[in-house]
Every structure is written in C-alpha cells, then in structure tokens.
Amino acid sequence: MFDINDLFSGGKQLAGLDIGSSCIKLAEIQDSPKGRILSLFSEAPLVKGVIVDGAVVEPEALTATIKALYKQSGCKRKKVVTSISGHAVIVKKAAFAQMDEEELRALIHDEAGKYLPFDDMSEVDYDFQILGENPYNPSQMEVLIVAAKKEIIEGYTDAIQAAGLIPVIMDVDSFALETMYEENYEFEENDVVVLINIGASITNLNVVKGGVSIFTRDFTLGGNSVTEALAANLGVSFEEAEEAKIKGTGDGEQARKAFREGLITYADPVCSEIERSVDYFRSTFGAETISKILVSGGGALIPDLVADLGRRLGIETEIINPFKKIQLDKKVLGPESAGSIGPIAAVGVGLALRKIGDK
C-alpha cells in the first residue's frame, strides 16, 4: 500500500478509484453517527488495451475515462486512493531481526537484492509493514514488503493528475479487498479465509488469518479469457459473448442449463489456477485450515462459477458482500441491485475505506 511519497501510509476521507483493465469504478464512503455509508458508486467501461498486464499503455484514454466518470458521478472529492496488481507489483513476506522502522527501511534498501527481484532500487518504490513477532522465533519479526517500479506507479499517477485529481495512496488490489473484508466480516484470531478477486484480465488471491494477510498470489487469467473462449465457440463478437456470459442464453430452462454447463467448461482454466494456488497454500501452510472462500470481481457473477469452485476445493465458497456492514444510500444503490454490484464494487469499497495516515 503505497503513499505516493511514502508507501503504506494512507486529509481525511478519500475517493476510491478502482482502475481495472475493462472498467473503472469510483466509490465514496461517508462516516456518520449511524456507521459508514456508501455515499457514491459509479462505473465506466475502459477501452481494451488501455491497461495491459497492470501497466498503463494509453494514458490519454485513461485520463479521458476518469474525467467522464467523475462528470457522470458528480464526485467532489479530488483526493483519491487507487491500486495496482498483477506483475506490476511484488508482495513478499520476510523475517528480520527485531529493529525499529527506520533501521528496517535502511536495511531493505541496502540489501534489496535479498528480498526483491530488482537490481536498481532507485527505479523502485517500496514500502513495508511490520506484522508482528515471528511465532517460531521471538527474536525475529515478520515483515510484509510491497514494491513496484516507479514507471508503473507514475503511469497511473500521471493519468490521474491529468484528470485534475490528486492521487494520495497507491494500494494493492489484494489488500484493498482485505480492508473491505475487515470492515464487513466477523472473524476470530485463527480464522483462515481466502479472498479471491476475479477481474477481467487478472485474478488476485489473498489468504488472511485473523484479518492479516499470510499468502498472496496474482495470475493473468480472468473473465476476459472466459469471454474469448465463449466468443470463439459461438462465433460471435467479444461484446456479444460478454453479454451472454452474464445473462445466459437460449430459450427454456434446459437450454439455459446447457449454456451454463458449457460456460463452466470455458472458465476451467481460471478455476484450475485458483485450485492450484489454494493447493500450494495448503502444502506450504499445512497447519492452517481454510474455513471459507469469498469471491469478488466480475468473474464472481459468471453463473455457477462460485458453486463449481466450492465443489472443487471442498470449502464453503460464496460471493463476497462489501455491504454487509456498510449501509447503502438508497439514492446511490438500492438493495435490489446490491447483490449484482457488490462483487464488482468490492475493491473500490476497500479503497474508499482508506484514510491518510492509516496502515
């Protein structure tokens, strides 16, 4: 979680700007005496190719879309928090001898090659968070390190600034999801939950224990790969296949059932990669038992995908609800649409919950 100048640092309330490869989402959370309220949510499609592998390829197009989104939403907050994911960011947990933050920052900078796959740290922005004492060695502490090349971060911040906004925090999609989870769900210290965000081109996986991340992984498969397979099979355009993917197709229940079953076949590469990631976690953290899987992102809305994941993994699996404890302003989002919007809004809600100076 990067502050633009001092990563992990988070003016008070900010707008959450979730920039995906196919869509941009904008969210505002308002604190009130009755709790937190979603006071604004809006989204706008992003032309394919503007964001590729987590990097901004067409900054002018991104700026234009952000401007249009702000205009249609009426958002007044100029300070924003956004996020990156995929190959654009490196997340690593490491053990260090007990020391203060200033000493740790200097050590990571001087010995970066031991912890991060970068040769020249002058080209990298990084931050860290001390998670606490190593449970197996009290003389050591566990530290989460997050790093990204400056050119990747600048691609986003330059486009946002060109839209007349002030980017204050650069978060990570997986951790934004974690923030949303902590706000909305009850959990015990030893509860292990897998948070999965299936975006258009990237899937994020974050395993949290007691609300703290213990394992993360991103891979470049998502909803677009399902749409492309469906388009090829039906002989239709990508746009037509995208619409069919969510709505289903065919007349009659039998036809719709057959379509859903076929769709799960097209989603198999994504589900298989999630299954491999969870199996790797299980083999690496053998003592940890996963109690639940929560799925977000547009991919969570693919018919039967969440149920298929639950059957594959043998774990209770459900679509995430970012409005479990956050109230909805009825003028912004009615209860009837919260179920379909929730999975798409999850990362944006997590971003909007961030404040300058938090962790």
Q: 171 and 56 in one domain?
A: yes
Six-digit token pair at 125?
């922005």
DSSP assignment of 76-109: ---EEEEEE-GGG-EEEEEEEES--HHHHHHHHH
Strand ordering across the sheet containing 124-134: 90-97, 137-149, 124-134
Our CA dihedral for 232, 233, 238, 240, rounded to 10 degrees, sits at 150
Q: 177 and 261 in one domain?
A: no
Looking at residue 4, what is its pLDDT?
Answer: 41
DSSP H/E element including 178: helix 173-184
Looking at residue 133, what is its pLDDT?
Answer: 82
DSSP assignment of 274-293: HHHHHHHHHHHSTT--EEEE
Map tokens 């993917």 to a residue: 245
Our CA dihedral for 96, 276, 117, 20, rounded to 10 degrees, sits at -110
Q: Does 104 reside within a domain?
A: no
Count structural domains, the chain.
Answer: 2
Contact 353, 182 (CB under 8 A): no
Q: 211 and 171 in one domain?
A: no
Q: Does 120 reside within a domain?
A: no
Neighbours of 109 (CB within 10 A): 12
The dihedral region occupied by 246, where left means phi > 0, alpha psi between -120 and 50, and beta the remainder, is alpha
Print the domain residue range for 193: 187-320
Exposure letters 143-163 (e unless 16+ CB within 10 A, then b): bbbbbbbeebbebbbebbeeb
Q: 73 and 12 in one domain?
A: yes
Cβ neighbors of 93 (< 8 A, separation 6 or more) are: 131, 142, 143, 144, 145, 214
Contact 141, 81 (CB under 8 A): no
Q: What are phi and psi of 154, to 5 degrees?
A: -65, -30
Neighbours of 94 (CB within 10 A): 15
Q: 331 and 308 in one domain?
A: no
Contact 143, 93 (CB under 8 A): yes
Q: Does 128 reside within a domain?
A: no
Q: What is the pLDDT along the chain (359 residues), one digit of tens a residue?
A: 555 444 444 446 799 999 999 999 999 999 888 889 999 999 999 998 999 888 999 999 999 999 999 999 999 999 999 999 877 788 888 888 998 888 888 888 787 777 777 777 778 888 888 888 877 788 889 888 888 889 999 999 999 999 999 999 999 999 999 999 999 999 998 999 999 999 999 999 999 999 888 889 999 899 999 989 888 888 888 888 888 776 765 555 665 666 666 678 889 999 999 999 999 999 988 878 999 999 999 999 888 899 999 999 999 999 999 999 998 887 777 666 777 889 999 999 999 999 876 65
Q: 275 and 220 in one domain?
A: yes
Strand ordering across the sheet containing 15-19: 2-3, 166-172, 79-84, 15-19, 23-32, 35-45, 327-328
Q: Does 3 reside within a domain?
A: yes
Neighbours of 76 (CB within 10 A): 9
Q: Does 145 reside within a domain?
A: no
Length of the chain: 359
Q: 77 and 39 in one domain?
A: yes
Question: Residue 242 is part of a domain; what is its CATH number?
Answer: 3.30.420.40
- Compute and round to an integer the Cα radius of gyration of the chain: 20
Q: Does 95 reside within a domain?
A: no
Q: 308 and 235 in one domain?
A: yes
Q: Distance between CA atoms of 332 and 204, rounded to whole angstroms?
A: 27
Alpha-carbon distances of 310 from 224, 259, 275, 316, rounded to whole Å: 22, 20, 10, 6
Q: 194 and 157 in one domain?
A: no
Q: 337 and 302 in one domain?
A: no
Looking at residue 9, what is its pLDDT?
Answer: 44
Contact 62, 36 (CB under 8 A): no
Q: 266 and 341 in one domain?
A: no
Looking at residue 231, what is its pLDDT?
Answer: 86
Looking at residue 346, what is its pLDDT?
Answer: 96
Looking at residue 5, what is its pLDDT?
Answer: 41
Q: 194 and 287 in one domain?
A: yes
Q: Does 115 reside within a domain?
A: no
Q: Does 125 reside within a domain?
A: no
